Chains A and B, each alone.
Chain A
Amino acid sequence: MRLVIAFLAGGLFGAGLLISGMTDTRKVQGWLDIFGDWDPTLAFVLGGAILPMALAWRIANTRTASLLQSPLPAPPEPVIDRNLVLGSGLFGAGWGLSGLCPGPAMASLSFGGWQGLTFFLAMVAAMMITPRVRNFWTGGREAPI
């Protein structure tokens, strides 16, 4: 059952990314191009995605476990550290450069050609070494900003 739900959630996520235009890198770069020919579509995508999820959090806050009896994720400690800010900055730079973030990079694998596959492999390679780099410069601790 868990695997079926995970597949369905991934499939619905992928269909939403495709329909909304998030798998078209030109559209994503158009949204980030606030100093050029700005394309506001992605504001509707993010707004549309936050609505059902805000409702889901309200429901989750009244429960002690999910339908499949898993604990519901606790709120993260409201700590803003160097990794959060630096990591998001680096991610944003790559997002602007390519127009791809991790979800659409996977959703577009079937039609993204060698460019999409190369991006995906580079992203996976970086993900594999990140824990080592993170531990190296923080000594395993989260570094305050």
Chain B
Amino acid sequence: MPMDWIWGLVGGLMIGSAAALFLLVSGRIMGASGLLGGLVDGSGRANWAERLAFIAGLVAVPALLAGGRAETHLNLTSNIAVVIAAGLLVGFGTRLANGCTSGHGVCGISRLSLRGIVATICYLLAGALSVLLFRHGLGWI
């Protein structure tokens, strides 16, 4: 749709504002994989309630906004092997690299962190190659 880029920009500004709020008020990096990962592997035990509150907002607000709107779709494949393999890769990869699109991408690039920039180049390249291989090569997705 021709209006998509405006929604992308507005949504992006909201994502960045959320990260700015979390940094300036709470002193925290808004990284989705780190906040969740620290909760499930025990490394974030010291501030588990703050992590849980963040995740509660992250799940609840889209649920309210999307509630009853039939046009909201995740459109994830129903191939269960692909779903599980992708989930394992994303979970393992982001924790190994200590960050994902929000931590390395949004929070890292905006402070010109070398690690954030290198990580973003790596996952963008790997993502493009993955779509090339699995969509155009193997036709799985």
Contacts and interface: CB of A to CB of B under 8 A. Distances in A.
Interface of A: 2-27, 29, 32-36, 39-57, 59-60, 65-68, 70-73, 75-76, 78-80, 83-103, 105-113, 115-116, 118-131, 133-134
Contact of B14 (A12, A27, A70): A12
B122 A92 contact: yes
Interface string B30-51: 1011001100110100000111
Contacts of A80: 114-115, 118
Contact of A6 (B5, B57, B88, B107): B57
A44 B97 contact: no
A109 B58 CA distance: 10
Contacts of A75: 111, 113
A123 to B, nearest CB: 4
A93 to B, nearest CB: 5
Among the interface residues B26, B43, B58, B63, which one has the most CB atoms of the partner chain A within 10 A? Answer: B58
A5 B123 contact: no
A54 to B, nearest CB: 4
B89 A10 contact: no
Interface of B: 4-30, 32-33, 36-37, 40-41, 43, 49-51, 53-63, 65-67, 72-78, 80, 82-98, 100-102, 104-107, 109-111, 113-115, 118-120, 122-132, 134-136, 140-141
Main secondary structure of the interface of A (DSSP, over half): helix
Nearest to A12: B18
B111 A97 contact: no
Contact of B89 (A33, A90, A111): A90
Contacts of B57: 6-14
Contact of A92 (B22, B25, B93): B93
A89 B111 contact: no
Nearest to B132: A35
A138 to B, nearest CB: 10
A61 B126 CA distance: 33
Nearest to A2: B50
A20 B55 CA distance: 19
Contacts of B61: 10-12, 14-15
B19 A53 contact: yes
Given A11-B57, A94-B90, A127-B33, 13 more contacts: A3-B50, A6-B22, A36-B136, A53-B20, A57-B110, A75-B111, A76-B113, A95-B130, A100-B74, A106-B36, A113-B74, A124-B91, A127-B37
B96 to A, nearest CB: 3
A107 B60 CA distance: 8
Nearest to B82: A97
